[in-house]
Amino acid sequence: MKIITGNDLRTGDVIWWTGEGWSRHVNDAVDVPEGAEAIIARENAKQIVTDTQVIDATLTDEGVRPAHIKDRIRALGPTVRLDLSLKPADPAAGTWVI
């Protein structure tokens, strides 16, 4: 699947395109098989998101999994500070990115 990601302009938070807006949780990302460039152009014009890009991902039993490790770390947070990640209560969360 193809998903769109970027950063919230004001906060810098990593965000994912949900089809209707932006979410901080990668599992909310929707497949955008085509038309991604138009969505990015439209959203960029709103000046609320920056550094937008289309990335590859797969839909697994655990949810949306970005194809590249860099994007998986973006999705989770730093693996060395899971307390600051999206899964602070899961001590094994870091293994998800590998």
Partner 1 sequence: MYQYDSYDQKMVDARVAEFRDQVNRRLAGEIAEDQFKPLRLKNGLYLQLHAYMLRVAIPYGTLNGAQMRMLGDIADKYDRGYGHFTTRQNIQYNWIKLEQAPDLLADLASVEMHAIQTSGNCIRNTTADHFAGAAADELVDPRPYAELLRQWSTFHPEFDYLPRKFKIAIIGSETDRAAMKLHDIGIQLVTNDAGEVGCKFYVGGGMGRTPMIAPVIGDFVPPLQMISYLEACLRVYNRYGRRDNKYKARIKILVHEIGADEYRRQVEEEFAHILTLGLEPPPAELERIKGFFEQPGFDAAASDDLDLSDPDFAVWVKQNVHAHKQTGYAIATIALKPVGGIPGDATADQIRLMADLARDYSFDELRVTHAQNIVLPHVKKADLYTVWQKLDEAGLANANLDLISDIIACPGLDYCSLANARSIPVAQKISERFADLGRQQELGELKLKISGCINACGHHHAGHIGILGVDRKGVENYQLLFGGSEGADTSLGTITGPGFSEDGIVDAIEKATNVYLDQRADGERFLDTYRRIGMAPFKEAIYAKEPANG
State whether residue 12 is helix, strand or coil.
coil
- # of chain residues touching partner 1 (CB under 8 A): 25
25 interacts with partner 1 by CB under 8 A: no
Interface residue with partner 1 among 19, 58, 67, 90 (CB under 8 A) is: 67
Site for partner 1 in 39-58 (CB under 8 A): 44, 46-47, 50-51
SS3 of 59-94: the string is EECCEEEECCHHHHHHHHCCCCCHHHCCCCCCCCHH
Closest to partner 1 by CB, 4 or 19: 4
84 interacts with partner 1 by CB under 8 A: yes
12 interacts with partner 1 by CB under 8 A: yes
How many CB atoms are closer than 10 A to CB 14?
Answer: 21
Place of tokens 């999705």: 75
Cα(10)–Cα(88) distance, integer angstroms: 23
Q: What is the residue type of 79?
A: T
Closest to partner 1 by CB, 23 or 44: 44
Residues that bind partner 1 (CB under 8 A): 7, 9-14, 44, 46-47, 50-51, 67-70, 73-74, 77-81, 84, 98
